[in-house]
Structure 1
Amino acid sequence: MERRVFLVTSRQTWGRAVASASLAALVLATAGCGSSDKESASNSAGSLAELKKTGTIRSAFINAKPLAYMDEKSGLLDGSGPTVLKAIMTSIGVKNVDPILTEFDAIIPGLKANRWRMSAFPFYVTPERCKEVAFTNPTAQYLEGALVQSGNPLGLASYKDLAKPGVRVGIQSGNAEIEWAKDNGVKQSQIKLFSEEALAVEAVRNKQIDVYLNAEFSVIQALKTYGDKGLEMASPFEGPIVDGKEVVAYGAWALGSDDNELREAFNEKLAEMLASGELLKLQEPFGYNADAMPDPAVTSASLCPDADWAK
């Protein structure tokens, strides 16, 4: 099945993280671990040479496991995004990442106002966002995963299977999977929405629903976080089909639309890491697998063809 590039908005995970952002920012400011976006220090782009000279890049994040979060034990920024970001910036010659805790909706305005240089984690590339900021090349492609009961008793192997009568489908409120499921024949009456992932996982375990849908890497992480007793990830599992092609969404780091030197240097190192397998190795602890690695032919320019910075 040919895959179709599908640009979607951010997942509910990021929305939920916003609720704790203000309190966490106060804690960070008090403890000296990272900074708050309330600070007024400027972080104007400048040249790549100037960035290397300072040795520190300001980067905005929200608490959203496994993408980016402040580790409670170490007090340090962790997650798949920051791990790759730190590795690439070090190879470029910038050894320090200054994490700025903020709300998701403030990241792009903050980039445009030079409050930080980059996002600390990749998020979905959309046509609307391409008009506001630039993006690096993708760090991952998001295929769909399905959490089912052990043994996959209903034999669910695709979104098409979910449309069978009687299949009970769990999805987090606000997620793109809601529309994808409907577009693939699942009736509204079959769908049960959950405010939190933990509730959906337990609903599958307790046989209240038959399947929970989310990105494949999120399902892998959920099994690690909540335990795999009585559960497994359906494999193989074909994601939603749109226009005859399987949907694929891409995530990338955001930076200023005029920050060409940094974007090009970042993309060069990212390509090297993807080719060598280092990109996968760094992200595996956070639930990523080989299927989540992006197609090298997909670039920020191909995802944002109408953006001035991509031409």
Structure 2
Amino acid sequence: MTLGRRGFLTGAALLGGLALTSCTRTEAGTGAPEGDAKLLSTLREQGFVRVGFAGEAPYGFQDGGELAGEAPTLHREIFRALGVRELRPTLTEFGALIPGLLAGRFDVVSAGMAITPERCAKVIFSEPEFVSPTALMVRKGNPKGVSDLESCAAKGATVGVLTAAVEASYAKAAGVPDGSVKTLAKQQDGLDALLAGRIDAFALTAISLRWLARTNGDAPVEVGEAFVPVVGGARQLGAGGAVFRPGADGLRDAFDRELLKITGSPDRFVGLVGKYGFTAREVPPRSLRTADLCAG
């Protein structure tokens, strides 16, 4: 089973033209070659870890000037347990997160990023932080009568997806013509395009769309039942995690040990991120492993 959330569609898009070699990896906060054994101790000594986020609620965003959302909340809890007191955020476009990580602008991507084989070829992921299937947001009353991407293809619906988002590949696999897939920069752009009639449905994870509807309470839209897209015969449920530079295995492994203490306790998981719309249904099962997701 292949799972993913927001994804780059090609390796070129993933790298943004940035090549990574062993000589370009750097120690967090320095220009020196990265020493994995020292990385966590370096973060502890400096008292902070630099995290990249994309301003995408409810995964990672700013709320009243504070870093909020599922990923920063979990990551703050985990790094504090590891002896690193502070997350220092850098806001960037979603498509620039991995290039920024590889360029050393931050140490961890804290954005609920999908775990996909294409990304695993360039970076290393934590174990899954959450799972979430896909859904469609439509105008109130669902005038096109769509329920999933196959029905969008059958009924000639125009589908909105986010830039660099895996939903574009889901739509293509479901038979939606390229000309009927519209790319949008932000979640709010998707809702606005829907209300303006430029698209008939906005495809994203169910958790994201529920949050978008909640924060636009007066908008005449509705979110349909979640569904699991199929690409090449494989179900695409949706699993996200933290992202680290290649070579930071020790830091990733320490992170995973603390993460599994949280995902192993649904009550603790919901207690931390329930305010962002995450429920026990979004807790990843123990059987779901990043190694399997990376293998496709």
TM-score by length of 2: 0.74
Aligned length: 275
The structure with the larger Rg is 1
TM-score by length of 1: 0.71
1:243 partnered with 2:241: no
Q: What corresponds to 1:96 in structure 2?
A: 86
The 10-residue stretch of structure 1 (136-145 or 169-178) with the greater mean CA deviation from structure 2: 169-178
47, 52, 56: which one aligns with 2:38: 47
Contact 2:53 2:97 (8 Å CA) reproduced: no
Provide the alpha-carbon RMSD of the alignment: 3.5
Contact 2:43 2:49 (8 Å CA) reproduced: no
Q: Residues of 1 paired with 2:175 and 2:218: CA distance?
A: 29
Q: What corresponds to 2:75 in structure 1?
A: 85
Aligned partner of 2:69: which letter?
G
Contact 2:4 2:114 (8 Å CA) reproduced: no
1:215 partnered with 2:205: yes
Q: Residues of 2 paired with 1:101 and 1:203: CA distance?
A: 24
Q: What corresponds to 2:61 in structure 1?
A: 69
Aligned partner of 1:5: which letter?
L
246, 254, 258: which one aligns with 2:243: 254
Q: Secondary structure at the match of 1:263?
A: helix
Q: Secondary structure at the match of 2:154?
A: coil
Contact 2:3 2:115 (8 Å CA) reproduced: no
Q: 1:192 to 1:125 in 2, by over 3 A?
A: closer
Q: What corresponds to 1:9 in structure 2?
A: 7
Contact 1:143 1:215 (8 Å CA) reproduced: yes
**1:166-204 CA distance string (max 9 Å, x none):** 444333455332332232123445445545543432444
**1:89-112 CA distance string (max 9 Å, x none):** 122332222334556666556655
Q: What corresponds to 2:20 in structure 1?
A: none
**1:134-168 CA distance string (max 9 Å, x none):** 22111123421111233545543332222233444
- What is the deviation of 1:86? 0.5
Q: What corresponds to 1:157 in structure 2?
A: 147
Q: Residues of 2 paired with 1:227 and 1:117: CA distance?
A: 36
Query: Kindly, what percent of the aligned residue pairs are identical?
Result: 25
- What is the deviation of 1:233? 0.9
Aligned partner of 2:247: which letter?
D
Q: Residues of 2 paired with 1:69 and 1:207: CA distance?
A: 27
Contact 1:51 1:94 (8 Å CA) reproduced: no
158, 161, 174: which one aligns with 1:171: 161
Aligned partner of 2:7: which letter?
T
Q: 1:111 to 1:219 in 2, by over 3 A?
A: closer
Q: 1:63 to 1:202 in 2, by over 3 A?
A: closer
**Structure 1: gaps (5+ residues):** 16-38, 307-311
**1:38-76 CA distance string (max 9 Å, x none):** x974585543772575262322313412232344x3x33
1:119 partnered with 2:114: no
Contact 1:177 1:213 (8 Å CA) reproduced: yes
